[in-house]
Amino acid sequence: MTTEAISLACPTASRPHLTQLPDPPQRPVATQSPYTSRAHLVLESWFIRRPDVLVMQEGYLCQEAGSARGAPVPDCIVAFDLPVPPAEIIASNGYTISEIGKPPDFVLEAASKSTGERDYTTKRVLYAGYGVGEYWRFDHTGGDFHDAALAGDRLVNGKYEPIPVHPLAGGGFRGYSAVLGLELRWQERMLRFWDPVTGEYLPDLIESRAQTAAAIGQRDAEAAARRDAEAQRNAEAAARHDAEAQRDAEAAARHDAEAQRDAEAAARRDAEAQRDAESAARREAEERIRELEARLARRPPAN
Contact 143, 171 (CB under 8 A): no
- Do 144 and 225 sit in the same domain of this protein? no
Which of 170, 185, 202 is where one domain is finished?
Answer: 202
Q: What is the pLDDT of residues 252-300, one digit of tens each?
A: 889 888 889 988 888 899 888 888 888 888 888 888 888 888 888 887 7
Tally of domains in the chain: 2
Range of the domain at 238: 203-303
Name 194's bridge partners. Answer: 183, 201
Whether residues 183 and 215 share a domain: the answer is no
Confidence of residue 191 (pLDDT cuts 50, 70, 90): very high
- For residue 66, count other CB atoms closer than 10 A to its CB: 12
* Same domain as 55, residue 182: yes
pLDDT tens digit sequence for 194-252: 999 999 999 876 665 666 666 677 887 787 888 888 888 888 888 898 888 899 888 88
Among 202, 235, 269, the domain-final residue is 202
- The CA-atom distances, in angstroms, between 40 and each of 10, 58, 260 are 24, 10, 90
Instruction: Tell me the C-alpha distance between 178 and 196, whole Å.
Output: 11
280 and 246: one domain? yes
Does residue 6 register a pLDDT over 60? no
Nearest to 171 by CA among 142, 200, 207, 145: 142
Q: 8 pLDDT exceeds 60?
A: no
User: Are 97 and 190 members of one domain?
Assistant: yes
- What's the pLDDT tens digit per position in 90-139? 999 999 999 999 999 999 999 988 889 999 999 999 999 999 999 999 99
Q: What is the pTM of this model?
A: 0.65
pLDDT at residue 28 is higher than 80 = no
Q: What is the CATH number of the domain that holds 120?
A: 3.90.1570
Same domain, 139 and 228: no
Give pLDDT, residue 81.
95
d(CA 193, CA 34): 15
Q: What is the pLDDT of residue 33?
A: 63
Q: Write the DSSP assignment of 230-242 as a string of letters.
A: HHHHHHHHHHHHH
Q: Which residue in 137, 136, 127, 184 sits closest to 159, CA to CA? A: 127
**If you count them, how many residues does the chain have?**
303
Q: Please state, rounded to an integer, the average pLDDT across all residues of the chain.
A: 87
At residue 296, the pLDDT reads: 83
Same domain, 35 and 160: yes
What's the order of all strands across the beta sheet hosting 159-162?
Answer: 54-56, 76-79, 106-110, 134-138, 150-156, 159-162
How confident is the model over 94-104, as pLDDT tens digits? 999 999 999 99
Return the pLDDT at 11: 45
- Residue 292 is predicted with a pLDDT of 85
Last residue of a domain, one of 181, 202, 223: 202
Q: CA quadruple 11, 12, 14, 15: dihedral positive or negative?
A: positive
In terms of domains, do 153 and 229 share one?
Answer: no
**pLDDT mean over 63-72:** 94
Higher pLDDT, 175 or 272: 175
Lowest mean pLDDT among 29-33, 75-79, 82-86, 238-242: 29-33
At residue 30, the pLDDT reads: 47
Say if residues 128 and 158 touch (Cβ distance below 8 Å).
yes
Q: How far apart are CA 55 and CA 40, in angstroms?
A: 7
CA dist., res. 68 & res. 90, Å (int): 14
Q: Reduce the secondary structure of 76-110 to three states and give it as a string.
A: EEEECCCCCCHHHHHHCCEEEHHHHCCCCCEEEEE
Same domain, 216 and 105: no
Claim to verify: residue 38 and residue 81 sit in the same structural domain? yes
